[in-house]
Amino acid sequence: MNRNDYMAALRRALSILPEEERASALRYYEEYFDDAGPENEGRVIADLGDPQTVAAQILADYRELTAVPPQQDAPPQDAPPRRRWRGIPPWLLIVLVLLAIPIGLPLAGGLLLAVLGVIGAVLAAILAIAAAFILVPLCLLFAGLVLCGFSFVLWGIPANAFVTLGCGLALFAAGILLGLLVIKLCTLFVPPVFRAAVALIRWPFNKIRGRKTDSNGGGNA
């Protein structure tokens, strides 16, 4: 057997390999023969051994490299399905609620008092501002009326009477204008502020009512 016969037998024995793998293996042995030289073909064939044995070793190495390792984490086919978590058990929820009551009640009471305090402070400030706006025009009107009445006492001195009457009329007119301005501002700002205060007061109750409605709807569903 010469080199050509050996390589032909090896090629037939590796015919089940993919083309690329077979060509790579045959190229390796072709280079092996080239390195040894034509005069050493017999020695190379003797060293390599039977082509069928060489092919069997190449196929075994290829199967070992391409084998798919078994999945270690895959559960067996007959294993029972795992139970999924379905939420907190009712008894545990009751225990948590009972444990949270001593802490939750003071916090809820403090929060409610804080909200009521803020609402009271805002309402008090609004009332104080409204009272100031109402008292100033009334004071101007009252001062104007007093000066106008006092001017009739001063008719013995016409100049003083006219000055006093003019000041009274000016204060009276300023009181009327400021009163109209206060009425306009009240019509613009008081209703929105009142509605906002009412909405702020009703907000906690609406939240509680909405939660009850959702729970009832969920239970009916």
pLDDT digits (tens, 9 = 90+) for 111-127: 778 878 877 787 787 77
Same domain, 208 and 111: yes
Same domain, 112 and 58: no
Mean predicted confidence (pLDDT) in 100-121: 77
User: Contact 14/61 with Cβ under 8 angstroms?
Assistant: no
Domain count across the chain: 2
Range of lowest pLDDT (56-60, 104-108, 172-176):
104-108
Tens digit of each residue's pLDDT (9 = 90 or more) over 22-57: 898 889 989 988 888 888 888 888 888 888 998 899
Residue at which a domain ends, from 65, 84, 116: 65
Q: DSSP letter at 37?
A: -
User: Contact 168/174 with Cβ under 8 angstroms?
Assistant: no
Domain annotation covers residue 88: no
Among 50, 41, 60, 54, smallest CA distance to 3 is for 41
Same domain, 60 and 146: no
Domain annotation covers residue 81: no
Domain annotation covers residue 116: yes
Domain annotation covers residue 52: yes
> Rounded to an integer, what distance in angstroms lies between the CA atom of residue 9 and that of residue 54?
10
More confident residue, 196 or 194: 196
Work out the angle between the directed axes of helices 90-153 and 158-220 (0-180°, nearest 10): 170
Same domain, 199 and 133: yes
Domain annotation covers residue 91: no
Same domain, 140 and 48: no
Domain annotation covers residue 119: yes
User: Contact 164/147 with Cβ under 8 angstroms?
Assistant: yes
Gap between the terminal Cα atoms of the chain: 88
Q: Which structural domain, as residue segments, surrounds residue 12?
A: 3-65
pTM of the full structure: 0.32
